[in-house]
Amino acid sequence: MAGQSFDAQNATMSDDLHPGQRLRPELLEGIAPVFRVDPVTRDAHLIGTGFWVSEFGHLVTAWHVVAENIGPDGVDRGPIFAIQTFSDRSFVARTFVKTDKHPQFDLALSETCVAAPDHDRSTIPLTMTLDEVKSGDPVFSFAVLDGNQEFDSEKWPGTTTARFRSELTIREMDVDTSLQFAARQSFGFVSEIFETLRDTVMLPFPCVQTDVPIYGANSGGPLFDHLGKVCAVHCTSYEGADIAFHVPIRGVLELRLRAESIKLTDHERKQWSLLELAFAEIVPFDPPLLDVRRLFWSALRWLKYAIKRKFSGQSLSKNIHLVEARPAPKND
């Protein structure tokens, strides 16, 4: 709790602790439920949540959400799809094309696509941050769950912000089924930081522990800091124990996507990391990530960020994130 001006035990989840709720009304369009189609009944079942990181349909989620559907080459082998929602509460289904698995963390980056006439409708990426949360910091979740989920004993009462119920047809997957899901904000505080690992079996990697309630199908959804920026990804939780674990957002930087999926078909590179795309401002980070190998360029970029924040009246992060990119091989 060092450095905090509030008491987490007596605090209420107000806009004072979470101004990001006011600043980011488009959060709903930034998250996506992930469904699996039953091979026998052809019904769709909610299995997790993801969030968009580019306007081209790239989805970050937890690897365990999509693992059994992905072949060793990262190509989708199973009947899974993500739902892209819009501000008018309409939605379309996006099928999985290719997925990259993080070598250590429970993270995956999936390329998705949608059939005509909706293929030109861009996905809305959420802004991520490398600013690290500390023990005692207020955080909140925005994830998707089953429409019939009950909330009996939440330590910090959450809010169901939207409900969806509709018929869905995906001809290429032979799917004609009813969908029902809801989007919910859940609140809490950071309780512990594990810098290297939580344990050697279940969570053998760095993670953040919170008391944010995480429900079935919340895995892979975003954890936000108090300003509404994605600081971690939901991994697992102990139901009824006010204990949840999240992968720090720095893990996504190593994930890679195909150049053609971001319309870079004329470039000799076949793959790009999210870190490189963050430098190119294709993947949004706040504060911006700065290339340690290009210090003059980085200084100009930081100045641009500071001026933009000052004149827009938005908060300015005092942290500077100098990162070194590790390009993917040209023939990869």
pLDDT at 329: 52
Q: 65-79, 96-110, 134-148: which has the minimum mean pLDDT?
A: 65-79
pLDDT at 40: 81
pLDDT at 11: 43
Select, from the ranges 5-14, 152-161, 317-326, the one with the highest average predicted confidence (pLDDT): 317-326
Bond into 125 cis (ω within 30): no
DSSP 148-199: T------SS--EEEEEEEEEEEEGGGTEEEEEEEEEEEEEEEEEEEESS-S-
Q: Are 98 and 258 in contact (CB under 8 A)?
A: yes
- Residue 300: is its pLDDT beyond 80? yes
Which residue in 226, 179, 230 sits closest to 31, CA to CA?
230
- 129: Cβ contacts below 8 Å, ≥ 6 apart: 225, 229, 230, 231, 249, 285, 286, 287, 317
The percentage of the chain sitting over the pLDDT mark of 90, rounded to a whole number, equals: 42
Fold of 1-254: Thrombin, subunit H (2.40.10)
- Residue 255: is its pLDDT beyond 70? yes
- 184: Cβ contacts below 8 Å, ≥ 6 apart: 141, 142, 143, 144, 145, 149, 158, 159, 160, 161, 215
**Rounded Cα distance, 28 and 63, in Å:** 22
- Residue 23: is its pLDDT beyond 50? no
4 pLDDT band, cuts 50/70/90, is: very low
Domain ranges of the chain: 1-254, 255-323
2 pLDDT band, cuts 50/70/90, is: very low
Tokens of 213: 């309630």
Which residue in 51, 111, 42 sits closest to 84, CA to CA?
51
Q: 46-50, 109-113, 174-178, 265-269: which has the minimum mean pLDDT?
A: 265-269
pLDDT at 170: 77
DSSP 267-286: SS-SEEEHHHHHHTTSS-BS
pLDDT at 207: 87
Average pLDDT of the segment spanning 240-255: 87
Instruction: Compute φ and ψ for 86, nearest 5 degrees.
Output: -125, 165
